[in-house]
A = this chain, B = another copy of it.
Amino acid sequence: MAKKVLKFGGTSVGSIERILHVAKIIEREHNANNQIIVVVSAMSGKTNELLANAKSVSDKFDKRELDVLLASGEQVTSALLAGTLIELGVKSKSWLNFQIPILTEGEHSNSRIINMNVSKINKFLSEKGVAIIPGFQGISKNGDVTTIGRGGSDATAVAVSKIFDADSCEIYTDVDGVFSTDPNKIPVAKKIDKISYNEMLELSSLGAKVMQPSAVQTAMMYNIPLEVRSTFTDRHGTKIFDQENLDYSKSVTGVAYSKDDAKVTLTNVQDKPGVAASIFEPLSKNQINVDMVIQNISVDQKTTDITFTVKRDDLLKTIDTIKNNKNIQYKSLTHNDKVSKISIVGAGMVSTPGVTYRMFKGLAEEKINILAISTSEIKLSVIINEKDTLLAVRKLHTTFDLD
C-alpha cells in the first residue's frame, strides 16, 4: 500500500466529462489499495475568467479580495470531483483551505504553504476515503484566504506530498510528459522517461512549461519522486528523481528555447572593480531580472563591453534605468529584442568532454551566429538571432542524438 498524491491540472478537469474521467483514474488507483490525496486546479479558463472580472473593475484590484475571488475556482472543482467519486461509490470528501487548514505565510497572491494539519485527513485515508484538496490556496495566520504565487497547484501537490509524507506525487496534465524539445514545433522530439530534478528545472524554466519550477525545486529539496503524465492516455509519463538515481546514456537530455529575451550591450564601460555592481544594482532594485551576463576581455585594460539579457517585457524599463542612473558610465547602449535563447540541458554534460565544441560546431554548420554564451554545470545556453530559432533547435536535437 502506497500513499499517493495525484494532482490534476485545469484542462484535466475542464468539463464534467473530464471530471468523470479523472474520477475513474482515481477510482482505479484507490482500488489498487493506495491511499489517495488529490489536489485539483480550477477548471480550465475559470481562473482567467475570474481575473478578467477583477481587471474590468480595476488593474489594481485589491489583492486580499482577488485571492478570495480566485480561490473559488479550485473550490468548485473540489466539490464536483468529490461528488463524482461518491457517485461512483468511492468514499470521498473535499477539504477546503480553512478546513484542513492549509497555513500560508507571505503576501496576498504570492504566499507560501508552511504547514497543514494532517490528523483528520490521515484518519479519513485510513478509513479508505479519498481526500480532495483545492490547489493554489491557503489560509494566513489571520484567517484570510491567500493564493500561492509561483507554482500554483503544482506547489500545493508537492507541499501536500511532503507534509503527508507521501510515497509519490503524480502530476496529471494535458501532455504525455517532458520532451527532449518542444514536440509542437520539432516533430522528432521524444518523451523523456526519466530526468533529474536539476535537468527538469533547467528545462521548465526555459519554456518547457510542463511543471512549475518552484514546485520542482521544493520536490528536489525534500527528495519527493514526481511523475508528470497525461490524464488522457494510460502511458507512463516522465519520472523525476534525484540525480543519483539516474544513469546517463546520453550527455544531453533535451534542447530548450525561449523567445522572451532581449539583449543589451554597454560599450566602453570602465574596467575596474565594482563597475558591474554599479550597473546591476539599480536594475535589481527595479525588479528587473538579469539572466546572462558576458563581459568581454578588456583589450586596453581600461574599458570593456558588457552584454546582458533581460526579459523582453523589461527591456524599456532596463534602458530607462540605465540612462537615468548617473553612476553608470559607458559610451553607447545598444539593444536587440529579436533574439532567442537556445539551451542544451543534461546532467551527463559535466562528465562528457566536447559537448561545448559539438554545440558550436553544429550551429556553425548551419551558419548560425552566436551572440552570447553562458554555461552552468548542466546547461549550455546561447543567444542567437530569433529567426534562426527552430533551425538551431532542430540541428542540436540531431547533433546530440535525441531524434
Contacts and interface: CB of A to CB of B under 8 A. Distances in A.
Contacts of A82: 62, 65, 68
A56 interface: yes
Interface stretch (A24-32, A90-98, A185-193, A201-209): A90-98
A72 interface: yes
A83 B61 contact: yes
A69 interface: yes
A84 interface: yes
Interface in A57-92: 57-58, 60-62, 64-66, 68-69, 71-72, 75-76, 78-80, 82-84, 86-87
A54 B80 contact: yes
A64 B83 CA distance: 8
A53 interface: yes
B80 A62 contact: no
Given A64-B93, A98-B98, A69 B56 contact: no
B80 A53 contact: yes
A336 interface: no
A143 B56 CA distance: 34
Interface in A123-160: 143-145
Chain A residues touching B, range: 35 or more
Contact of A62 (B20, B65, B69, B86): B86
Contacts of A72: 72, 75-76, 79
A39 to B, nearest CB: 16
A100 to B, nearest CB: 10
A16 B83 contact: no
A57 B79 contact: no
A131 to B, nearest CB: 13
B69 A83 contact: yes
A87 to B, nearest CB: 4
Contacts of A16: 53, 56-57
A121 to B, nearest CB: 13
Contact of A143 (B20, B80, B99): B99
A50 interface: yes
Given A64-B93, A94-B65, A83 B54 contact: yes
Interface of A: 16, 19-20, 50, 53-54, 56-58, 60-62, 64-66, 68-69, 71-72, 75-76, 78-80, 82-84, 86-87, 93-94, 96, 98-99, 143-145
Question: What 4 pairs across the A-B complex have the smallest Cβ distances?
Answer: A69-B79, A65-B83, A68-B79, A72-B72
7 contacts: A16-B53, A58-B83, A66-B79, A68-B82, A69-B76, A72-B72, A99-B144
Given A69-B83, A75-B75, 17 more contacts: A53-B80, A58-B84, A62-B82, A62-B86, A64-B93, A65-B94, A66-B79, A66-B83, A68-B96, A69-B75, A69-B76, A69-B80, A72-B72, A72-B79, A98-B98, A99-B143, A99-B144
